[in-house]
Chains A and B, each alone.
Chain A
Amino acid sequence: MSSAVQTRAAATVRTRTPATRSRRRPRHVLAHVVLGVGGFLMAFPFLWQIIMSLSTNSQVRSVVPTFWPGTLQWHNYVDVFEQLPFLPQLGVSVTITVIRTVAQIVLCTLAGYAFARMRFRGRNLLLGLVLSILLVPSQVYLLSQYQIVQQLGWLNTIPGIVAPGLFSAFGTFLMRTAFLNLPNELEEAARIDGANPWQIFTRVMVPLVRSNISVLAITTVLFSWNELLWPLVVSTYAGLQPLAAGLATLSGSVTVDYPVIMAASLMATAPVLIAFILLQRRVIDGIASSGLK
């Protein structure tokens, strides 16, 4: 069967006529037209956001759209900092994202390593318990998480927003898989050389899963930066909300002009978009392989 296919494939290579090659051209044209138009539609809201953020309020509210504002209203970007608590919210977003990412990398790598590479009583039971969280939608633990944070007196604080997101079953699963895929020889060699488990972990194993750690970092940053429901619930004071929650409560506000809102929302999402454009391959492959959504 497979040899027949190979022969056929070989035959195709040899018999590729000018006719088949010219038939390929229009297909590329179709691909470029469809992907070009589709890509433009995908990017259009961002372009529109940029144009509107540089327009005047009356231009935004004109029935016939203003496709180019003439004089670019850069002051809208300055107004963001005067009319909205943008700076404190940016501070919250950066802080919670950094804390969660560092915590998840440390905790999930440690636990993932133990679940993949160490032997201990109850390992499979504990692993099963951790992974069972993956089957449950977040609403199921949200109410109770809120009560716990409330009892700790952490409402409207950074620890409150950050706490549940320090721990990740998904990250543990990701890192366990990474460690499972490594060969045993290096570990054995280090052990024979007299290294203890901590030394084996930090000096031998962790450097080998650096690319998996970067996948975990990317997914955690994205999740933390964009998350809405949990911060909205535990942080009701505008100055202590991350950008995602702060912008969401702006919706329907009549006191702030649209161009300023556009400038604020663009600045809020710009860091992840720029990071994505710089690291595109790594981000896309990481997300496609981890199946995160």
Chain B
Amino acid sequence: MTELHRAAPRAAGRPARRRGGSGVLRDGWWPVLFVAPLLVGVVVFYLWPIVQTFWFSFTTFGVFGGQTFSGVANYVALVQDPEFYLSLGNTLIYTAIVLLGVPLAVWLAALLNTPGLKFASFYRVLFFLPYIAMPTAVALVWRLMFNGDYGILNWVLSLVGIPGPYWVSTPGFAIVAVSIVGLWSSLGFSMIVLAAGLKAIPPELYEAAELDGASPSRRFRSVTVPLLTPTIFFVVVVTVISSFQLFDLLYAIMGPRNPAMPSSMSLVFYFFQAGFVDNQQGFAASIAIAIFVLIGLVTLLQFRLQRRWVANV
């Protein structure tokens, strides 16, 4: 459900456009009929659960049901749990590797936007396929390709004399393997959004730069990249938020009973295990709140740093 974060910033800025003498009571009871079905579901399945999770995080669940108020005990246990820092570290490694795809996507999007380029829509489809595909389905192929004994990746590495590791069962390598798949699957999305941003750059600027004798690489550095920074910023924010919620690929590539899982888990897997495997719902709630706060802080930090590198357009 990470799509949500993207949409939010745009929501605020748009005032309701209304003209003419539309009276306050003009629509009578109609709005209730229109809004109520959605609102009931949103309250029952989203707003109330959000409130409840905050409450859960201050309670301990009994083995035989029932819960007792335990103050900040869950949070104290969380900050003292080495697994929390481990899963946070893995999540950060994953995020960092997936972010390497952003500069790559800028370059690829610029190439894709070459005026008059043939097969452009064919390339677009190829790069977008991994983003559309079911993560658990592609995870199974990747798992086979990563296989230590007969995976094609290690065969390719052996051609250049590198002995490949057991990717998905070796602590340390497993999260890297998952990150590679994460990069592969999100590259197309970044590219498409960046390509849309590139289209908005006025062509006159390129003509002017060309007339001034700027080389293609100089035009890329001095025209394309600076004018694209707002889009790059959006892509980075979105990528970080979704990377922080890594679960599907990790779960499906490694498998929950993989011996390397305890050292490779992400924050959301850590949450999943506490809440739905170990039945520590109170503790799991505190992890969920921690994920929420961490994503909030990282996003806030990015908006602060934005002034340093994002062009005002």
- With contact pairs A197-B30, A293-B6 given, residues A252 and B257 touching in the complex (Cβ less than 8 Å): yes
Complex Cα distance A283/B140, Å? Answer: 25
**Taking the complex as formed, is B58 at the interface, i.e. its CB lies under 8 A from any CB of chain A?**
no
- With contact pairs A123-B31, A252-B255 given, residues A140 and B50 touching in the complex (Cβ less than 8 Å): yes
- With contact pairs A118-B27, A141-B50 given, residues A167 and B258 touching in the complex (Cβ less than 8 Å): no
Secondary structure of the B contact surface, majority rule: helix
Of A60, A225, A281, the contact of B150 (CB 8 Å cutoff): A60
One of A68-76, A77-85, A144-152, A206-214 contacting the partner = A144-152
For window 102-142 of A, CB contacts with B under 8 Å fall at 106-108, 110-111, 113-116, 118-121, 123, 126, 129-142
Tell whether, in the assembled complex, residue A229 and residue B8 are in contact, meaning their CB atoms are under 8 Å apart: no
Q: Which residues from chain B contact A277 at a C-beta distance below 8 Å?
A: 125
Interface size for B (C-beta < 8 A) is 129
Tell whether, in the assembled complex, residue B5 and residue A134 are in contact, meaning their CB atoms are under 8 Å apart: yes
Tell whether, in the assembled complex, residue B42 and residue A167 are in contact, meaning their CB atoms are under 8 Å apart: yes
For window 270-293 of A, CB contacts with B under 8 Å fall at 272-273, 276-277, 280-281, 283-284, 287-293
Q: In the complex, which residue of chain A has the Cβ closest to the Cβ of B29?
A: A120
Of A139, A266, A280, A293, the contact of B3 (CB 8 Å cutoff): A293
Q: Which residues from chain B contact A62 at a C-beta distance below 8 Å?
A: 150
- With contact pairs A62-B150, A144-B49 given, residues A133 and B20 touching in the complex (Cβ less than 8 Å): no
- With contact pairs A138-B1, A188-B20 given, residues A276 and B193 touching in the complex (Cβ less than 8 Å): no
Of A111, A132, A143, A184, the contact of B34 (CB 8 Å cutoff): A111
**Taking the complex as formed, is B73 at the interface, i.e. its CB lies under 8 A from any CB of chain A?**
no
Q: In the complex, which residue of chain A has the Cβ closest to the Cβ of B56?
A: A143
- With contact pairs A48-B145, A228-B247 given, residues A269 and B138 touching in the complex (Cβ less than 8 Å): yes
Report A164 CB to chain B, min CB distance, Å. 4
Q: In the complex, which residue of chain B has the Cβ closest to the Cβ of A93?
A: B134
Complex Cα distance A232/B269, Å? Answer: 12
Tell whether, in the assembled complex, residue B133 and residue A107 are in contact, meaning their CB atoms are under 8 Å apart: no
- With contact pairs A45-B130, A135-B5 given, residues A119 and B23 touching in the complex (Cβ less than 8 Å): yes
For window 47-73 of B, CB contacts with A under 8 Å fall at 47-50, 52-53, 56
Q: Which residues from chain B contact A131 at a C-beta distance below 8 Å?
A: 8, 11
Q: In the complex, which residue of chain B has the Cβ closest to the Cβ of A258?
A: B144
Q: In the complex, which residue of chain A has the Cβ closest to the Cβ of B158?
A: A63
Tell whether, in the assembled complex, residue A130 and residue B129 are in contact, meaning their CB atoms are under 8 Å apart: no
Tell whether, in the assembled complex, residue B245 and residue A8 are in contact, meaning their CB atoms are under 8 Å apart: no
**Taking the complex as formed, is B19 at the interface, i.e. its CB lies under 8 A from any CB of chain A?**
yes
Complex Cα distance A32/B126, Å? Answer: 13
**Taking the complex as formed, is A186 at the interface, i.e. its CB lies under 8 A from any CB of chain B?**
no
Complex Cα distance A39/B16, Å? Answer: 43
Tell whether, in the assembled complex, residue B275 and residue A143 are in contact, meaning their CB atoms are under 8 Å apart: yes
Tell whether, in the assembled complex, residue B251 and residue A273 are in contact, meaning their CB atoms are under 8 Å apart: no
Q: Which residues from chain B contact A63 at a C-beta distance below 8 Å?
A: 149-150, 155
Q: Which residues from chain A contact B289 at a C-beta distance below 8 Å?
A: 140
Report B306 CB to chain A, min CB distance, Å. 17
Complex Cα distance A172/B248, Å? Answer: 26
One of B81-89, B171-179, B182-190 contacting the partner = B182-190
For window 38-57 of A, CB contacts with B under 8 Å fall at 38-43, 45-46, 48-49, 52
Task: List 14 A-B residue pairs with CB atoms under 8 Å apart, sorted by A's residue number.
Answer: A12-B207, A13-B207, A46-B141, A126-B35, A129-B42, A133-B50, A134-B8, A140-B49, A144-B56, A148-B44, A164-B41, A169-B4, A169-B42, A184-B20
- The interface of chain B, by Cβ under 8 A from chain A, is 1-8, 10-11, 14, 16-20, 22-27, 30-32, 34-35, 37-39, 41-42, 44-50, 52-53, 56, 107-108, 111-112, 114, 116-119, 121-145, 149-150, 152, 155, 184, 186-189, 192-193, 196, 202-205, 207-208, 210-211, 216, 234, 238-239, 241-242, 244-245, 247-248, 251-258, 268, 271-272, 275-276, 281, 284-285, 287-289, 291-292, 295-296
Other 18 A-B pairs with CB < 8 A, given A39-B127, A140-B50, A265-B138: A9-B208, A12-B207, A12-B208, A35-B108, A43-B126, A45-B142, A45-B145, A48-B141, A118-B30, A119-B26, A164-B45, A167-B45, A184-B17, A243-B137, A248-B136, A251-B253, A280-B121, A287-B192
- The interface of chain A, by Cβ under 8 A from chain B, is 5-6, 8-9, 11-13, 15, 20, 23, 27-28, 30-32, 34-36, 38-43, 45-46, 48-49, 52, 60-65, 106-108, 110-111, 113-116, 118-121, 123, 126, 129-148, 163-164, 166-167, 169-170, 172-174, 177, 180, 184, 188, 196-198, 201, 219, 222-223, 225-226, 228-229, 232-233, 243-245, 247-248, 250-252, 258, 261-262, 265-266, 268-269, 272-273, 276-277, 280-281, 283-284, 287-293
